[in-house]
Amino acid sequence: MNAITEGKEVEEKKSPVALFYCAGASNVGQSTVTGCVETAGILGYNRVALLCLASISAGLKNMFNGAKNARGIVAVDGCPMSCAKRTLEKAELKVDQHLIVSKDLDVPKNFRISDAGAIKQVTNALVQAVLSID
């Protein structure tokens, strides 16, 4: 038995907000990865969970359940193809916030991967997206 089943009062922890990123090959796709990692570093892993998008499309239940039980879901895509958002919707997961780097942040898509300015923009936008759910 644990404290909950024994009827004792326990402090329930809020589930974190789940972040899913596209991780595409271009600068905008790669900025989704780094931006999400930096967002988790800023807000803390108790508030933000980085979850694996490929696990959702692969049908892995543990990752699906993590997303389903999250306080909210943020999908971040590099371009308007919206692979992250579409993958989550195909799995019938509700996306609460969606960011498209090339459209919403006006970052031109190219293959110069280490675009520090774009990464900072993505991070700032993601922090705001998580806080809007939190």
Please count the structural domains in the chain.
1
Which tokens go with 9?
A: 């009062």
Please give, one letter per residue, the 3-state secondary structure of the chain: CCCCCCCCCCCCCCCCEEEEECCCCCHHHHHHHHHHHHHHHHHCCCCEEECCHHHHHCCCHHHHHHHHCCCCEEEEECCCCCHHHHHHHHCCCCCCEEEEHHHHCCCCCCCCCCCHHHHHHHHHHHHHHHHHHC
- For residue 115, what pLDDT is reported? 84
Whether 29 maps to a domain, the answer reads yes
Does residue 16 form part of some domain? no
Give the pLDDT confidence score for residue 4 in this predicted structure.
52
Asked if the structure places residue 86 within a domain, the reply is no
Residues with pLDDT less than 50, the chain: none
Residue 85 inside a domain? The answer is no
39 within some domain:
yes
116 within some domain: yes
Digit-coded pLDDT (tens) for 94-106? 999 999 999 999 9
Q: What is the pLDDT of residue 3?
A: 56
SS3 label, residue 106: coil
pTM (2 decimals)? 0.88
Domain encompassing residue 52? 23-80+92-133
